[in-house]
Chain A
């Protein structure tokens, strides 16, 4: 039943996005594909946000609304494109076929990870996905439900993830959000490559196999989503879309993570450098689109302003409990700190991880092949020099705005794609062979994400605990909460911060992630297994 709802909902979004695309059509198939994916994502986000605000976030309202929308579109004469037009053309040469199948294998590996792994990545199960779980359980927007201050960060990517779980009331497909973002990122790389006269297949293959990109596909992290939006903005500029529309992905990105706004400087510079010769925008269509994107993204900042008195919530500038997020320090010293460590990080000493701590996780291609080939390409091509300048500008702006945590390079996942593009200027057989081998090494290193070997949140979890029994979770600043909700979101979690709150919650069981002082009596309580104890009745 849930699968039927998801199919109906997705069919509605696909047809609605196609209907909008027909009115925006750019005349270029690669640009149309990118715009189509962006429209799909925007409508998907808007629909979930609307459902959250109206308290209609559940199977029946969303399925009925989707079915009604689908019927209305069909009645209005909208038809999906013929299936034949969606089948990619057979690449001409053997090398192109190898690159094509390489990208197909990358996508297969992501679907295998989707099927095989539950959400495993630390930040996602600490504070990204608990929001999704609370929304799906409540059927409406729930804000600030626990005291990890990062719960106030913009949740644009959680809207996309919620779409893939709400119909099923199960998180089996939650990583589809990341695969969707990779599709957007690669569609943007395709547009950029074609606009600059590069070998698109080579650029797409190389970008798909950059470890820090591929690892972030299935982490439920929002960094790839921001990367996809920034690349889309660059691509729309390169494809000479109307200036107003070039802002569309950045507006969507700001609702996912503020780093999209930090990277916007390079996009604006690119738009200035590429001149004014643009087609006239269709104001009647573009204005509602831009207004919609602003509303969907601006909502999180307005919510924070309303509930906490600051648009960024307690995360930035407020008295948060976590030192590394409570006190932003924007300045050139951040940039120097990162640049001083970059020569060491580029060597990637250590196993690739999505967070890329103390390394770039850019993989075998970028340093070994990408750097020298990029030098040659930049010497030969003014267009590529311009692209490198604006990529660098955006990268430096992001690095000025984020503190040195050892993990800051992942905030600009889109940056290493520059080397994939630069190397795609005129790839000969030797270069393609070396790149295919580098891709294979990157795949070996990332086919099992390192983080899946960490036990987070479910260690020694008692099997005999009833699946739907309420559970209180006690942590000091952050905890691995999400797995405790169960895959079908059947368990209600409470987040008490005192013994009185714990008693008032009515939860019979408590998961002590951190033994904070007020919960110390737990040592005398009956242990069910792992960190779960039974709360004695008063």
Chain B
């Protein structure tokens, strides 16, 4: 990838804007930075750009990002996935 610096800058911009938004958004429960999927995705994008053409670090980064994002998703969706097993919810 020729434009690694641009990529890192783009991901950094997304990260900064998102962190700013998380601190200054409308009222309501906001996730902490480590519970926000945009922050994690931006961090992964930066890491992927740094680890360009290095398969092993890239695979490790991918595994960490997937686990992190799946954890975030599980916190929000997990209980609802098994709704058919809760008789009271039907």
A461 CB, nearest partner CB in chain B, Å: 20
- A305-351 interface (Cβ within 8 A of B): 343, 346-351
- A447-479 interface (Cβ within 8 A of B): 447-448, 450, 453
Name the contact of A376 in the complex, choosing from B37, B48, B69, B70 (C-beta under 8 A): B48
Chain B proximity mask over A358-384: 1 for CB below 8 Å, otherwise 0: 000000100111011101100110000
Q: Is the CB of A376 within 8 A of B80?
A: no
Measured in the bound complex, the distance between the Cα atoms of B18 and A441 in whole Å is 29
B70 CB, nearest partner CB in chain A, Å: 4
Q: Is the CB of B37 within 8 A of A351?
A: no
Q: A286 in the interface, Cβ–Cβ < 8 Å?
A: no
Q: A29 in the interface, Cβ–Cβ < 8 Å?
A: no
Name the contact of B73 in the complex, choosing from A347, A352, A373, A380 (C-beta under 8 A): A347
Q: Is the CB of A372 within 8 A of B62?
A: yes
Q: Is the CB of A348 within 8 A of B62?
A: no
B48 CB, nearest partner CB in chain A, Å: 6
Q: B54 in the interface, Cβ–Cβ < 8 Å?
A: no
Q: A68 in the interface, Cβ–Cβ < 8 Å?
A: no
A344 CB, nearest partner CB in chain B, Å: 9
B71 CB, nearest partner CB in chain A, Å: 8
Name the contact of B80 in the complex, choosing from A350, A379, A434, A453 (C-beta under 8 A): A350
> Which residues of A have CB within 8 Å of B18?
343
> Which residues of A have CB within 8 Å of B38?
343
- B59-84 interface (Cβ within 8 A of A): 62-63, 65-66, 69-70, 72-73, 76-77, 80-84
Measured in the bound complex, the distance between the Cα atoms of B73 and A379 in whole Å is 24
Q: Is the CB of B36 within 8 A of A379?
A: no
A120 CB, nearest partner CB in chain B, Å: 14
Measured in the bound complex, the distance between the Cα atoms of B90 and A453 in whole Å is 6
Closest to A441 in B: B81
Measured in the bound complex, the distance between the Cα atoms of B89 and A373 in whole Å is 35
Measured in the bound complex, the distance between the Cα atoms of B18 and A346 in whole Å is 15
Q: A445 in the interface, Cβ–Cβ < 8 Å?
A: yes
Q: Is the CB of A347 within 8 A of B81?
A: no
Given contacts A349-B77, A375-B41, contact A367 B69 (CB under 8 A): yes
Measured in the bound complex, the distance between the Cα atoms of B82 and A350 in whole Å is 11
Q: Is the CB of B70 within 8 A of A364?
A: yes
Chain B interface size range? 20 to 34
> Which residues of A have CB within 8 Å of B72?
347, 367-368
B7 CB, nearest partner CB in chain A, Å: 8
Q: Is the interface of A mostly helix, strand, loop or mixed?
A: helix
Chain A proximity mask over B32-49: 1 for CB below 8 Å, otherwise 0: 000011100100110011
Q: Is the CB of B70 within 8 A of A369?
A: yes
Q: Is the CB of A372 within 8 A of B81?
A: no
Q: Is the CB of A444 within 8 A of B73?
A: no
A269 CB, nearest partner CB in chain B, Å: 22
Measured in the bound complex, the distance between the Cα atoms of B63 and A379 in whole Å is 17
A373 CB, nearest partner CB in chain B, Å: 7
A350 CB, nearest partner CB in chain B, Å: 6
Given contacts A379-B1, A379-B48, contact A373 B76 (CB under 8 A): no
Q: Is the CB of A434 within 8 A of B37?
A: no
Closest to B4 in A: A379
B45 CB, nearest partner CB in chain A, Å: 5
B21 CB, nearest partner CB in chain A, Å: 8
B8 CB, nearest partner CB in chain A, Å: 12
Measured in the bound complex, the distance between the Cα atoms of B38 and A445 in whole Å is 24
Q: Is the CB of A367 within 8 A of B73?
A: yes
Q: Is the CB of B80 within 8 A of A372?
A: no
Closest to B38 in A: A343
Q: Is the CB of A368 within 8 A of B82?
A: no
Q: Is the CB of B65 within 8 A of A347?
A: no
Closest to B45 in A: A375
Name the contact of B76 in the complex, choosing from A349, A445, A453 (C-beta under 8 A): A349
Measured in the bound complex, the distance between the Cα atoms of B81 and A349 in whole Å is 10
A342 CB, nearest partner CB in chain B, Å: 10
Q: Is the CB of A372 within 8 A of B41?
A: yes
> Which residues of B have CB within 8 Å of A450?
83
A308 CB, nearest partner CB in chain B, Å: 41
Name the contact of A368 in the complex, choosing from B36, B48, B73, B84 (C-beta under 8 A): B73
> Which residues of A have CB within 8 Å of B76?
347-349
Measured in the bound complex, the distance between the Cα atoms of B40 and A369 in whole Å is 12
> Which residues of B have CB within 8 Å of A369?
66, 69-70
- B1-59 interface (Cβ within 8 A of A): 1, 7, 18, 36-38, 41, 44-45, 48-49, 52, 58
Listed A/B pairs (15) with beta-carbon separation below 8 Å:
A346-B37, A347-B73, A372-B44, A372-B62, A373-B62, A375-B41, A375-B48, A379-B49, A380-B1, A430-B63, A441-B81, A444-B84, A447-B84, A450-B83, A453-B90
Given contacts A351-B83, A373-B62, could you give 13 more A-B pairs where the C-beta distance is less than 8 Å? A346-B37, A347-B37, A348-B77, A351-B80, A352-B80, A364-B81, A368-B66, A369-B66, A372-B48, A375-B45, A375-B48, A376-B58, A444-B82
B interface residues, Cβ below 8 angstroms from A:
1, 7, 18, 36-38, 41, 44-45, 48-49, 52, 58, 62-63, 65-66, 69-70, 72-73, 76-77, 80-84, 89-90
